[in-house]
Amino acid sequence: MKLVLAVLAWALNSAYSEEVLFGNVGGIAGWDLPTAEANKETLQQTLGLLEPNDVLVFEEGSQYCFQGGVRATGLSDVVLVVNGVLKMYDDIDSWPLENGKDGTDPERVQEAFHFFDFHNVTITSTTGQGTIDGSGLNWWGFPEIGYLVRKENRPRLMVMDDAVDITIEHMLFKDSAYWTTLFNNVDGLVIRHSEVSARRPRDNKDNQHSLYDLTAYNTDGFDVTGRNVHIHDCKIWNQDDCIAVKDNIKGPSENMLFERIEASGMGLVIGSIGDSIVRNITFRDSIMKNTYKGIYLKFRDGDSGVIEDIRYENIRIENPSQWPIWIGPAQQAENKTCAIAWPAFGKCEPAPQQFRDILLKNITVANPPRKGLGMNGPMLGLIFGSDEKPVDGVVFEDVVFEGLKGGEEYYKCENVVEGTGVARGKTFPVPGCFKDETDRKE
């Protein structure tokens, strides 16, 4: 290995000053633990030697396997071209753990790829669509049993901390063991023409999220915190939040636009949020087919969080199997506030944080469920503030559930500041605690 690294260093500093082929600097094909560990070490060394304007290329048609815990710090002005497949080795017992010396849990597994302080870095494919494969099936394990054994001690596929000006394009993120991506405290992120897929293998002719499929728990798609984010023209099929704007302990999560998204999972999400601020977020021009949830804004434990200036516009939700619209406490299996099976089982209490200035415009829900997991009646939407901090300003404009008749209460609508919940245009049905300013009043 020392000889390989010596050759690598020479290559990067001489003949490959601009373009580096991973196969030329020690990358090897194969599927066993020694190969995975060797490729991990080679990749980490390669990333550490890249200089501005260098391009690292994973060759077309190649497949390289890697051991978990690939880490790199401080890349600047480089391009990673993935024209093949980067696949994580699937031996759970050999997966590296955190060392605990930096405040991390020494029993927690390391992330698959964990990057720190990247600046102006692009991850792309020039031959179609590159693939980063998390080999998640072994981590998901037997339905329900796998989760009971490992719970959330599973690796995210890609994490970037404190990154600036990142572009990801023409990539497939496949079968992550846990969250697919987390861009944490990013400033400037573009993800485009990319895909997330997390599916248990089966003949899913109906393309639905069954209870079996959903046991690939916590396979979030694009999770982001920070600012100045644009994700567009992407496809996401997973078993948890499709896109989620999350807590940022270093400042607000703000100024984000998500558009032209095909999403199916737990929906287009703000949260869950504890005690941080999320503001100026827009989802628009998107479609969710056969999704589990749809529009989902949620708080978890905390008391000072704020979700404000949020806009969902031009979104179609088809055949949802659970709540098409939810603005309230996080509905989770291990949450004392709101049970995941509520209202069929358990309780749901409002979170004490603040929702403010939320607009849903031109939202269509086709074939909404009349019953399903957590619904023992026709209630399809929730706007649920607390007594201490009621929802302050929520407007539904042309929010239409197709195929419903009047005379039933389709929303749980409680604790909205009087006069600030407004239904306009063709909105139907109108939430019971809203002011009805619709064009048609039925």
- Helix/strand/coil (H/E/C) assignment for every residue in the chain: CHHHHHHHHHHHHCCCCCEEEHHHHCCCCCCCHHHHHHHHHHHHHHHHHCCCCCEEEECCCCEEEECCCEEEECCEEEEEEECCEEEECCCHHHCCECCCCCCCCCCCECCCEEEECCEEEEEECCCCCEEEECCCHHHHCCCCHHHHHHCCCCCCCEEEECCEEEEEECEEEECCCCCCEEEEEEEEEEEECCEEECCCCCCCCCCCCCHHHHCCCCCCCEEEEEEEEEEEEEEEECCCCCEEECCCCCCCEEEEEEEEEEEECCCEEEEEECCCEEEEEEEEEEEEECCCCCEEEEECCCCCCEEEEEEEEEEEEECCCCCCEEEEECCECCCCCEECCCCCCCCECCCCCEEEEEEEEEEEEECCCCCECCECCCCCEEEECCCCCCEEEEEEEEEEECCCCCCCCCEEEECECCCCEEEEECCECCCCCCEEEECCCC
pLDDT of amino acid 316: 98
Pick the CATH number of 1-229 from 2.160.20.10, 1.10.3720.10, 2.40.50.100, 3.20.20.450: 2.160.20.10
* Strand-pair partners of 186: 226
Confidence of residue 102 (pLDDT cuts 50, 70, 90): confident
- Res. 441 pLDDT band, cuts 50 70 90: low
CA separation for the pair 336, 347 (Å, rounded) = 8
pLDDT of the residue at 340? 84
Q: Specify the pLDDT at position 138.
A: 96
Report the distance separating Cα 139 and Cα 114, nearest Å.
Answer: 18
Which tens digits make up the pLDDT trace of 123-172? 999 999 999 999 999 999 999 999 999 999 999 999 999 999 999 999 99
Q: How confident is the model at residue 332 (pLDDT cuts 50, 70, 90)?
A: confident
Q: In angstroms, what CA-CA distances link 313 with 114, 284, 285, 359?
A: 34, 5, 7, 8
Contact 286, 268 (CB under 8 A): yes
**Per-residue model confidence as pLDDT tens digits over 167-221:** 999 999 999 999 999 999 999 999 999 999 999 998 877 788 988 999 999 999 9
What pLDDT does 12 receive? Answer: 46
pLDDT of residue 42 exceeding 70: yes
Question: Residue 35 in contact with residue 70, Cβ under 8 Å?
Answer: no
Query: For residue 377, what pLDDT band results from cuts at 50, 70 and 90?
Result: low
- The pLDDT-based confidence of 373 (bands split at 50, 70, 90) is low
Which structure tokens are listed for 213? 């499929």
